[in-house]
Amino acid sequence: MSDGRIQPEKGTGVLKVVDGKGAFPGSLVREAATSVDALERLCDHYIPKIYNFILKRVGSVPDAEDITSITFEKVIVNLGSFDETRASFTTWIYKIAANSVTDFYRSRGRRKESSLDDAVAGAIAGDVDELERADLYMVLVDLLKQLAPKYAEALSMRYFAGMRVQEVAEALGITESAASKRILRGLEGLRQLAEGGPLDRLI
Amino acid sequence: MARVIRELVPEDSQMDSDARERMMGHLLSVQRGAARGPARRTPARRALVPALAFALIIAIATAVILPTLLGGKHGSTTPRSVAGFQKLVGDVQVRSNGASWKKASMEDAVATGWSVRTGVASFATVHFPDGSIMRVTDGSEAVVTRIGSGYVSIRHVSGSTYHRVRKGTTYVVTNQDVSSRARGTAFNVENRVPGHLEILTIESAVEVAIGKLEPIKVSQGEVMTVTMAEKKADKQPVSIDRLKDGRLMSSVQQDAEAGYPTGVYENVDLSGQTTPATSPEQTTQPTAAQPTIQLAGDVAETNATLNWTVSAEDAFRQFILLRSEGSEPEYPADEVASYSDTSISSASDNSITAGHTYQYRIAAKLTESGDIVYSNTVVLNAAVPQKQPDKASVSISANPAADGIDVEWSVTGAETYSGFEFERVVEKAPAGSPTPEGTTTTRRIESGDVFYSYFDSAVLPGHTYSYRVGLIVNGTVMVYSDWTQAEFVRK
């Protein structure tokens, strides 16, 4: 993600992701619970990122809008419990978004049919080949829904939100090693699900 | 599989502006509810809730059903967040998102995403739903990037735009990565000089943020000029000549006619016949008769260099260097150094911190009266220096598990790398093994997927393996870890 950079932790030398230049100021995060201005700035900063993360995961604009709204509602209500010593705000908000997607699927049943909304298709499709690419992307979205949520979460954070493995680990509350294993197993699970299907020739 | 995902994943797209606006309205109400905390119902409230709910249902039913029963159109339409034109003079054109330019008309509803541009001797006044206005002066262009509840954002493209902001509205004007944020104020944004953006505050104050740096307050009667290429800013009291500019005078005159306060123009004859006075905040600024002092500055890492020039020799008996963060430096609160030797005309400040934005100005004491005359304010950003690369190293461990060997590693001293090369050598193998001693396996872990562990399940009982990992930078292995060994006993 653009908000973080990796640097060695003082003393141990262990690589950690720290907030970068593009990170949202911590003071504004706290103010967002009560200040309209701070909330609007927080939303300006994070809505595009979270909306796209969710849209890529669900492939439907109305669903993505709903889940984005639910995510930010949870963020506002829970701002008081956000502990910046445990995770960066960016990681925290992505975790809430991922949970909201999982809850959304649970409430609707995991194997709900997907439809490629114009916004997603438009972002992919430019010509005939691109239309095929858009169709293949929706196949991928459907396969992701068939994965166990913990693998789908890890994969979407890694590949849709562009998180580093360390950030995925932080968001999921697991070790870095466990996060990388979860991503690898998720990829392997996807590969198995894709076998014999339209994505098979690309693998 | 990771490659396939990357190939297929779509580009980012924008949320529909109406949906976003609805969401913001909802979130603001959630914020208000969260700030109040969970409502504690008293017995009386419990009784009131059903009654109020019933009354609400009746009210909604009346509003929606009655007009239909009476054969009219549905009562009220949902209020839309659109602006309109208050005045159009000369050649004014508009276009909505992605559409072609067309001649503007007073009936146009200027919504989020609309652009307005003006020709020679033309101008347009855009009136927003909250009561704020934007005046697009001649030869200028602006885009309305968002109109929300109590929120307006504008992208200033070219020329000059004048903004009168309704109190309570968050109003932001951006140009590239410079944003000017105001509440209840009047200000002008102009980039008619190539490479420079000017923000001039007519009334109250504007906060100007350059990139992600801390915003700088530009108060009434001040003008900030940002050099866009270097992201350097200079802030000083607006000159009388600048205030006499025809476009500014015209906009302020229209404000005055509409009954708005005119800030720095308060004591100015808007007919332009008399000399304008500066704002009350600037009583210590030089008058025409006073000598002046001009400050310039630059910064390299955490060393700021300031140079000043005076308009008259021996006019001052002392120079006081002032520095502050966030607000305009004032004498004596923000004094960092003073110079009684008035032949000194430069100073160096190496006590600043990287990543901070500082404002400097000189308070100069007049030789005769001892009164203070301020210089202009110089804004300097102490950039965070690029970290020198440390020597990179990789440490590794290998631990036998029930069905394989778990290899983990970590990296120190390197921030940018694209992956790892994983290498395994069979150190010991029983006679007749399909993988005899010396068998080497190398696996390059996919570029971009930076993992720190690998579970080697392709191991055989009774074999001992050595592992090492190479850190890949720019396609080649920059450094290897030491070798580590593990024996696999059984599967």
Contact list, A159 vs chain B (CB under 8 Å)? 2, 5-6, 9
The amino acid at B249: M
By Cβ distance, the residue of A40, A72, A137 closest to B10 is: A137
What chain A residue is nearest to B152 in terms of C-alpha separation? A40
* Residues from chain B contacting residue A188 (CB–CB below 8 Å): 1
Asked if B1 lies within 8 A of A65 by C-beta distance, the reply is no
Partner-chain residue, chosen from B1, B148, B411, that has the shortest CB–CB distance to A15: B411
Alpha helices (H) in B374-477, listed in sequence order: none
Looking at the structure, give the CATH architecture of the domain made up of residues B293-381: Sandwich (2.60)
The pLDDT value recorded for residue B409 is: 81
B34–A187 C-beta distance less than 8 A:
no
User: What is the spatial distance between Cα B443 and Cα A186, in angstroms, rounded to a whole number?
Assistant: 20
Residues in contact with A138: Cβ distance below 8 Å, sequence separation at least 6, in sequence order = A59, A114, A115, A116, A120
Q: Contact B31/A134, CB-based, under 8 Å?
A: no
**Which pLDDT value is given to residue B449?**
53
Cβ atoms of B13 and A123 closer than 8 Å: yes
Which of B10, B27, B452 is closest, CB to CB, to A176? B452
The dotted CATH code for B83-282 is: 2.60.120.1440
B261-298 confidence digits (pLDDT tens): 888 887 666 554 444 434 433 434 445 567 889 998 88
- Whether B398 and B486 have beta carbons less than 8 Å apart is answered as yes
Residue with tokens 């420079």: B196
Contact B1 A72 (CB under 8 A): no
**Residue position matching structure tokens 């050099």:** B227
SS3 content of chain B, % helix, strand, coil (to 5): 15, 40, 45
pLDDT of residue B37: 53
CB contact under 8 A, A40 and B1: no
Q: Hey, what CATH topology would domain B393-488 get?
A: Immunoglobulin-like (2.60.40)
- Check residue A62 and give its pLDDT: 84
| Residue B202, pLDDT above cutoff 90 | yes
Q: Do B30 and A183 touch (CB under 8 A)?
A: no
Q: What is the pTM assigned to this prediction? A: 0.44
Domain count, chain A: 1
Q: Residue A180: closest CA among chain B residues belongs to which residue?
A: B451
Contacts of B28 in chain A (CB under 8 A): 36, 39
Domain harbouring A163, CATH code: 1.10.1740.10
Give the sign of the dihedral formed by CA B473, CA B476, CA B478, CA B479.
positive
pLDDT at B244 over 60: yes
Residue with tokens 């309305």: B144
pLDDT in tens, chain A (203 residues): 434 333 444 454 443 434 443 455 666 677 777 777 788 888 888 888 899 889 888 888 888 888 899 898 888 888 777 776 667 788 888 888 888 888 887 776 544 444 445 445 545 444 435 556 677 788 888 888 888 888 888 888 888 888 888 788 888 888 887 888 888 888 888 888 888 877 777 76
> What confidence category does residue B466 fall into, taking pLDDT thresholds of 50, 70 and 90?
very high
Cross-chain CB nearest to B8 (options A119, A140, A188): A140
Q: Do A137 and B8 touch (CB under 8 A)?
A: yes
ipTM: 0.70
Spell out the domain ranges in chain B: 45-75, 83-282, 293-381, 393-488
Q: Does B393-488 match B83-282 at the fold level?
A: no
Asked if the Cβ–Cβ distance from B15 to A199 is below 8 Å, we say no
User: Residue A179: which domain range?
Assistant: 4-202
Best residue in B11, B14, B15 for a mutation probing chain A (most A CBs within 10 Å): B15
Q: Which chain A residues are closer than 8 Å to B9 by Cβ?
A: 56, 137, 159-160
